[in-house]
Structure 1
């Protein structure tokens, strides 16, 4: 497990019990805290995925650092990524062997995965915000359930004749 995932896991486990005291109001505040935390942690994830996306894109556009006839340099730096479609230019890099193919494969995979991660995080934020704003416990459907929490003590005693 990556160390970067420990903080979000601990936060979400702590927020998992959103009805600590059994009151509807506590549930609403718990959900609001959870939505805020989801958004904040997701923003951190978006920053990481965006950074990976940018580095991968720049790595693809710039090309690898390799040994050419002119010495160690970036031979494809001025091509703006056109070297990706012209495989004959890849022979400019003499060492390390197959560095251009390695560079293209690595950064393409990282670019695709970070793009997918960005899309999933955006979907997670949208779902979290929709659930947090539309899923409060005192909606019309659940208003009976919320009032029963406050009245349930009196109802139990009434049924047993203890009122």
Structure 2
């Protein structure tokens, strides 16, 4: 497979990951499918960092678009374009790292929830992830309903998506370096 076709394959694989990251980050703003928690500021702190939107979304979409343009004809037109695809892939990998770190922090600290009549807190913050397997601890969160499962599942999806994004961007770095150093596979076709 030539470096251009490989670039095209990588970029097409990045698009659904970018979309998934953006959707997960948006959903995290609406625990229990209600907007009142956003209005009242009762959202987990890591959600506000927008790791899925910025890191997995914007910083994943820009490289995906450039890499797609680089490999659009199936074979790359020049070494300079492949060099820039390496730079953009590195940006995508950095975005994936940001998304992963924010999601990991959100997963490890647990959700912000109401734990008694008026107090909102992150009750699992210093629990060393014991809340993940201890389902009885989830009852500590009175509101929003099922916020522990909601946050855990979406942060896990964001971690998985960011790992895939990082792997694809690392693949493009290798592919781009090969295209930059070894040349592209432009073939002249007959009339």
Deviations 1:1-47 (A, max 9, x none): 98944686368648978xxxxxxxxx9xx633112201111111111
Instruction: Provide the rounded CA distance (Å) in 2 between the counterparts of 1:72 and 1:111.
Output: 26
- State the aligned residue count: 130
TM-score for both structures, normalised by structure 1: 0.66
**Alignment match of 2:153 (pick from 82, 89, 105):** 105
Which has more radius of gyration? 1
Deviations 1:111-140 (A, max 9, x none): 101111101111111122122212357xxx
Instruction: Provide the rounded CA distance (Å) in 2 between the counterparts of 1:75 and 1:11.
Output: 43
Aligned to 1:135: 183
Deviations 1:43-99 (A, max 9, x none): 111111111100100000000000003710000000122211111111100001000
TM-score for both structures, normalised by structure 2: 0.57
Residues 31-110 of structure 1 aligned to structure 2 (within 5 Å): 31-69=78-116, 71-110=119-158
Gaps of 5+ in 1: 18-26, 146-163
User: Is the 1:52–1:110 contact (alpha carbons within 8 Å) kept by the matching residues of 2?
Assistant: yes
Instruction: Provide the rounded CA distance (Å) in 1 between the counterparts of 2:157 and 2:93.
Output: 18
Residues 142-161 of structure 1 aligned to structure 2 (within 5 Å): none
Gaps of 5+ in 2: 1-14, 20-56
User: Is the 2:114–2:121 contact (alpha carbons within 8 Å) kept by the matching residues of 1?
Assistant: yes
Q: 1:134 to 1:78 in 2, by over 3 A?
A: same
Instruction: Give the superposed CA RMSD.
Output: 3.3
